[in-house]
Structure 1
Amino acid sequence: MKKPVKAIDPQQRSCVLVLGMHRSGTSALTRVLNLAGFDLPKTVMPANPTNETGHWEPTPIAQLNDRILTAANSTWHDWLELGSDRLNSSQADRFRNEATATLEKEFGDSHLFVLKDPRICRLAPFWIATLQHAGIRPLVITPVRNPLEVAASLQKRNGFDPSYGHLLWLRHMLDAEFASRDMPRYFTSYDRLLAEWSNVLEEAAAAFGISWPRLSGETATEIDTFLSEKYRHHREPPERVRENPALSAWLRDGFAVFDSWARSGEQRKDFTTLDRLRRELNTAAPAFAHLIARGREADLKTQKLAEADAQLSQAKSDLDQHHREAERMAAELASAREELNRVLAHRGEMEKLVEGFKEHTELLLADLRERRKLENASYLQLKEKEEALVLAQKQATEAIEALVLARTQAADTQSAVEALRKDLAAQRQRHAQEMEHQTHETASIQSESDNEIRRLKTEIEYAKIERDKAQTQLKERLEEITTLTRLLEHHEKKRYRLVTRRHWANLWHRIRYAGAIGRLRRSGMFDENWYLLKNPDVVARGIDPTIHYIRFGAAEGRKPSAKIAPRQRP
């Protein structure tokens, strides 16, 4: 028999209280009500692995409920009766003021909103009175789920024994039903919500005397997308509760009533059964509460022991992993040391090569500068001869003009003119020969200079290419051994000072005797290999053979090559 529905005042604020046991589909139902048009709180508890689609409940109110239960010496998983005498009047007033302020902060001036937290099942009288005191009309909707499924879910999430989960389900359902009697309310089931949510919303609207503000085709698509069987991990047929003699009569009779209400609607005649169950549960609870508590403690200890075993296994696994990692790192360290030794050896070779390239490049540059000086001097001489030739041509032209003038003035001077012309022709021939000789000599010098410049440029380019390759290789290796260089600094400084003194001594003498070196080499009379072969003391001193001959060898009477006699200057 359904209660008559009182029409709702459109001006009065309304709150749908979702009063359902944990793991009974309260989160899914709350989200469906929200999609249909009821507002959610501002601070929504985030999703987690045990509730992947979200909780849709206000975190501040869940925290407030925990504080109220703690003050009443209880918890959300307490199956004993929560009497009204658990809180004194001052505590109740303080919590009610805080609850009113929290509602205002979370929902503001919302006209229609939904409030869900399974803890409210045990605190339903407190929250119903708080809403009514704030002028908000409470509407109650209770999702019913098979207690076997609820107990299995609690066992997986919290480690509760199934029998203990049955007691929690019974306590939450009986307390929520008793506190919400004679109020607009509606019972449904998690199964019906998943299978026929549109009928559930239609029946709930009729029970509350409201219409859903946002129900449309687009909303239906959103709800169908949100609801999914993949998030349901436990399924038990109702017959396994109603027809199972191994379960307590309280659980079987209570589920039979609530399952019937979820299918066919609430019946007042069932209040007698529910009141009896509630009285018997409250009366019998103190008799075996201690035994259940001891069993819970044993379960907790067993759970902690299992967790400790799991942690120990994980620690052993981590230790083995650390051992393997240490062995791998030791192998890598040995490999790195071998690579370091190779790099250091290669670095020494590269440094020698670079020093050789630097010395060779400096010599080439010095020789090139000397050749440019010689070319500039030859160019100046050639320019002077060209100017003298131009002057001679000018003088000859003036002389011819004078002769022509004299011929027109006096015919008797013809013989003198002829003689002068012959002399002029002879001078022209001499000038032409001298000019041809100078031109040939200039061309020869220019050709020789061009060839030498091209050769030097080729050698310089090759030296640059070799130097760039060496620098590239050296840069790559230097990047690998940067962090290891400090270990070699002391040794490297000694070696560097010795090599630097020898290098700069040779380089200074090369620069000083650059012109003499160039002339000696162009003469073709100096044989470096022969000189070193015949003078082992030069080899022992590490001096360049050309510089030694210029500085000491010539003065000492040493032969520059096999084909030159002693004391003969090349």
Structure 2
Amino acid sequence: MNQKPGRVIAILGMHRSGTSCLTGSLQEAGLDLGECHTWNPYNKKGNRENQAFVDLHDRILADSGGAWDQPPERAIWSAGHLAAGRRLLADHASSAVLGFKDPRALLVLGGWKSLLPDLEYVGIFRHPEAVAESLQNRSQIPREEALSLWYAYNRILYREWCQERFPLLCFDQEETVFNARVDTVVRQLNLDPVASPQRFYDNQLKTFAARSHHGLPWKIRFLYYKLKRASL
């Protein structure tokens, strides 16, 4: 019998869309992330990613002819990738509730579904212009390319939500509203209520705000509208 954690929760969302903030907030509520990054130059509290998961996702994307910024038409998990995924789960088998966060997970979710039929989800999204500005600042990605990536990732996010109806948050909400939504997610996921008044969310670290829809392609505006309708 394959060893694995009692529960596994995937935090889903596009790069620069609040996944780190959501993941850190859930970590405060008892979600186990294993060994994760707690600082980097573009995220002072860390992206909360477990590097072993990121490395596996990068290998799958590369072997499928793509990368995080060049999503392949289809991400194919080889037998070796599946074996590596099982080893990762076995490495965290002592965890009651394990979470993993990596935006690439949206591109490779099929393999995790096959390994974990009872995989749970929580998602987050952000205004496309804010994501585009943040990607340009971090990775020098031009606006049109960044918006195309926003659409590619969030189209998958919305498709998965339509199938599973998991908790979905909007990172454009102001701090008190966002934290209230996090508390709702914590209850829905049966995690521990956050006792500390000092929350993970820090509005001073949120450097790019939501912008107008003016100038956005129609399909991007419509997808953002659908995500807003689906969110808590």
**TM-score in terms of structure 1 length:** 0.38
Query: What is the CA–CA distance in structure 2 between the aligned matches of 1:130 and 1:230, rounded to whole Å?
Result: 39
Q: Deviations over 1:271-312 (max 9, x none)?
A: xxxxxxxxxxxxxxxxxxxxxxxxxxxxxxxxxxxxxxxxxx
Question: What does 1:24-35 correspond to in 2, within 5 Å?
Answer: 24-35=17-28
- Indicate the residue corresponding to 1:250 in structure 2: 219
Percent identity over paired residues: 21
Question: What does 1:439-454 correspond to in 2, within 5 Å?
Answer: none
Residues 116 and 127 (structure 1), Cα distance of their counterparts in 2 relative to 1, 3 Å cut: same
Residues 33 and 177 (structure 1), Cα distance of their counterparts in 2 relative to 1, 3 Å cut: same
Instruction: Please tell me the residue identity of whatever aligns with 2:21.
Output: A
- Indicate the residue corresponding to 1:124 in structure 2: 109
- Indicate the residue corresponding to 2:135 in structure 1: 154
Equivalent pair of 1:124/1:179 in contact (CA under 8 Å): no
- Indicate the residue corresponding to 1:229 in structure 2: 203
Q: Does residue 1:38 correspond to 2:38, yes or no?
A: no
Q: Deviations over 1:386-418 (max 9, x none)?
A: xxxxxxxxxxxxxxxxxxxxxxxxxxxxxxxxx
Instruction: Please tell me the residue identity of whatever aligns with 2:60.
Output: I
Q: Deviations over 1:61-89 (max 9, x none)?
A: 1011111100000000015x522xx63xx
- Indicate the residue corresponding to 2:49 in structure 1: 57
Partner SS state of residue 74, structure 1? coil
Q: CA deviation at 1:22?
A: 0.3
Partner SS state of residue 220, structure 1? coil
Instruction: Please tell me the residue identity of whatever aligns with 2:32.
Output: D
**5+ residue gaps, structure 1:** 1-11, 266-570
Q: CA deviation at 1:38?
A: 1.1
Query: What is the CA–CA distance in structure 2 between the aligned matches of 1:77 and 1:64, rounded to whole Å?
Result: 16
Larger radius of gyration: 1
Q: CA deviation at 1:180?
A: 5.0
Residues 40 and 260 (structure 1), Cα distance of their counterparts in 2 relative to 1, 3 Å cut: same
Partner SS state of residue 221, structure 1? coil
Partner SS state of residue 48, structure 2? coil
Equivalent pair of 2:6/2:93 in contact (CA under 8 Å): no
Instruction: Please tell me the residue identity of whatever aligns with 1:29.
Output: L
How many residues are matched?
A: 228
Q: Which has the higher contact order (CA 8 A, sep 6+)?
A: 2
Query: What is the CA–CA distance in structure 1 between the aligned matches of 2:207 and 2:45, rounded to whole Å?
Result: 14
Q: Deviations over 1:126-185 (max 9, x none)?
A: 2222222xxxx3221111100100000000111111111001011011123324543251
**5+ residue gaps, structure 2:** none
- Indicate the residue corresponding to 1:68 in structure 2: 60
Instruction: Please tell me the residue identity of whatever aligns with 2:81.
Output: F
- Indicate the residue corresponding to 2:152 in structure 1: 171
**TM-score in terms of structure 2 length:** 0.89
- Indicate the residue corresponding to 1:94 in structure 2: 80
Equivalent pair of 1:155/1:162 in contact (CA under 8 Å): yes
Q: 1:211 aligns with which of 187, 190, 196?
A: 190
- Indicate the residue corresponding to 2:180 in structure 1: 199
- Indicate the residue corresponding to 1:23 in structure 2: 16
Partner SS state of residue 167, structure 2? strand
Higher helix share: 1
- Indicate the residue corresponding to 1:139 in structure 2: 120
